[in-house]
Amino acid sequence: MKKIAILHFAYPPNIGGVEGMVKEHAEILTNLGYEITVITGSGEEKNPRIKLVVIPELQSVMSFNPFLQEKILDKGIIDDEFYKLAGIIDQGLEKALEKIDVVVTHNMITIVRNLPFVYAFKNFVKKYPKKKYFGWIHDHSYINEFQIKDLNKIIHSKLEKELLTTPIKNLTYILISESFREPFAQLMGLHHGETVVIPNGIDIRYFLEIDDLIWEIIEKYNLIKKFPLILSPVNILERKNIDYCLDIIRELKKTYPQICYIITGKPSSHRSTVEYYDRLKKKIDDLDLKNNVIFFNDFLNRALMRSEIHDLYQIADIVFFLSKSENFGLPLLEAALTKTAILVSDLKVFREVGGEFIKYIDYRAVNPEKAAELVKNFIEQSLRVKLNYRSRSQYDLKTILKEKFIPLIEKKPIKLV
């Protein structure tokens, strides 16, 4: 696997949005098998699989030489002190990047915080054209609210303008949004095909604190791409009415072919329960739902922990709890506290627990086709459900890196004329 270096001014525990994003990139790419080196001006790394190289001169110049920064930006003076710092940075890059195949800078070549770095880095790219270079651009000092600033008012030296508005040859610019790409390309004089948009994402597993087992299942069945995700946190008993739920799933599949129905519990050892489970499995085959239904009982020989059940509520779009009889109804409360939509049978005890704040359905009077129509209408009208799916399916950071960034590493870099 290729050796990748990721560069930024600072790294956690320093606080910052890009700092945190760089760390997530490093961890995910490491887990994907790449040899990652983070090169930064300040930071710490406890993961032994991620190499950290600290070059203090990569920090914002303001943090270690404010007088030089003032001279460069406010007075437009580019003198020996500037080039001396650039030389020190160049020496650090020579050593740190010697065995690196792919070099990724985050924001450092479009921000005025360290122009000596930009100068040294441009020369390094020119000197070593066989490496692959990427500039991951989250911001540009000359762009505010998607508008290019009046450069005549803010730039005080010819070199500053050259460093921050002249594209680096042999480097691919990655922008975090289409909205930002337009003014950036205009400022830099780049054509549309000379830049790539890779959106920011979120490490879903880390953000939702998903347990190992549940995440393994999410990845195995690609659950972040499934929609809708429907959960029944019940044991496999006839009174749980799972067969009725399967009929609803079959109807919903006509509209949502990627639907996934998860049943968390297990059958008891009683003969009647085992027979019910067998009937459910046969029904799944008969209804052509084999790729749409997951029984945890098929691969798990223990009960789920509370934290694991909580994880499933968090990723689910809807909970089905359509029992024929219950004495209480904890899933109503669990769904409420995780803000997960829930459809329940019209039982007296459920109305006692949920009051007027839950959608009830009389499974004895409402056939599966009508029930599926109710669910479909809810999905189509729920902005929260749709946003949840959009977020997990399009903005999972690991998926973004695998599908959008990794392919760039494997092809020739964009040549800028």
Q: Is the pLDDT of residue 415 over 90?
A: no
Q: Which token pair is 384?
A: 């929260």
Whether residue 180 contacts residue 147, with contact meaning beta carbons closer than 8 Å, is answered with no
Separation of alpha carbons 138 and 195, rounded Å: 13
Same fold, 3-203+396-409 and 208-394: yes
Separation of alpha carbons 266 and 336, rounded Å: 24
Third-level CATH fold of 208-394: Rossmann fold (3.40.50)
Number of Cβ within a 10 Å radius of residue 311: 23
Number of Cβ within a 10 Å radius of residue 252: 23
Could you tell me the strand order of the sheet in which 318-321 lies? Answer: 293-295, 260-263, 229-232, 318-321, 341-345, 359-361
Number of Cβ within a 10 Å radius of residue 103: 25
Q: Is the pLDDT of residue 412 over 60?
A: no
Separation of alpha carbons 170 and 167, rounded Å: 9
Digit-coded pLDDT (tens) for 232-287:
999 999 999 999 999 999 999 999 999 999 999 988 777 778 899 999 999 999 99
Q: Is the pLDDT of residue 417 over 80?
A: no
Third-level CATH fold of 3-203+396-409: Rossmann fold (3.40.50)
Numbers of helices and strands, H then E, in the chain: 19, 15
Separation of alpha carbons 159 and 170, rounded Å: 20
Name, in order, each residue with C-beta under 8 angstroms of 374's C-beta and a sequence gap of 6 or more: 343, 359, 361, 366
Region 339-352 average pLDDT: 96
Q: Is the pLDDT of residue 318 over 90?
A: yes
Digit-coded pLDDT (tens) for 367-387:
999 999 999 999 999 999 999
pLDDT of residue 227: 98
pLDDT of residue 255: 98
Digit-coded pLDDT (tens) for 63-87:
999 999 999 999 999 999 999 999 9
Dihedral angle over CA of 7, 12, 18, 22, nearest 10: 50
Q: Greater confidence, 300 or 100?
A: 100
Q: Which token pair is 99?
A: 């065995």
Separation of alpha carbons 3 and 90, rounded Å: 20
DSSP string across 185-225: HHHHT--GGGEEE----B-HHHHHT--HHHHHHHHHTTGGG
pLDDT of residue 413: 45
pLDDT of residue 416: 43
Taking the domains of the chain in order of start, what are their residue ranges? 3-203+396-409, 208-394
Q: Which token pair is 380?
A: 């189509």
Cα–Cα nearest to 261, from 237, 244, 286? 244
> Would you give the distance in Å from CA 231 to the centre of its chain?
23
pLDDT of residue 191: 87
Region 207-214 average pLDDT: 96
Separation of alpha carbons 237 and 249, rounded Å: 18
Q: Which token pair is 294?
A: 């997951």
The pairing of strands 359-361 and 341-345 is: parallel
Q: Which range (29-43, 189-203, 277-291) has the least confidence?
A: 189-203
Separation of alpha carbons 132 and 170, rounded Å: 8
Region 126-143 average pLDDT: 97
Of all residues in the chain, what percent carry a pLDDT higher than 90? 93
pLDDT of residue 44: 97
Cα–Cα nearest to 78, from 108, 122, 115? 115
Q: What are phi and psi of 168, to 5 degrees?
A: -85, 120
DSSP string across 305-370: PHHHHHHHHHH-SEEEE--S--S--HHHHHHHHTT-EEEEE--HHHHHHHTTSSEEE-TTTS-HHH
Query: What mean pLDDT is reported for the chain?
Result: 95
Cross-strand bridge partners of residue 147:
144
Q: What is the chain's percent helix, strand, coil content, to nearest 5?
A: 50, 15, 35
Q: Which range (54-63, 101-110, 297-306) has the least confidence?
A: 297-306
Separation of alpha carbons 207 and 314, rounded Å: 11
Whether residue 103 contacts residue 97, with contact meaning beta carbons closer than 8 Å, is answered with yes
pLDDT of residue 414: 43
Q: Is the pLDDT of residue 15 over 90?
A: yes
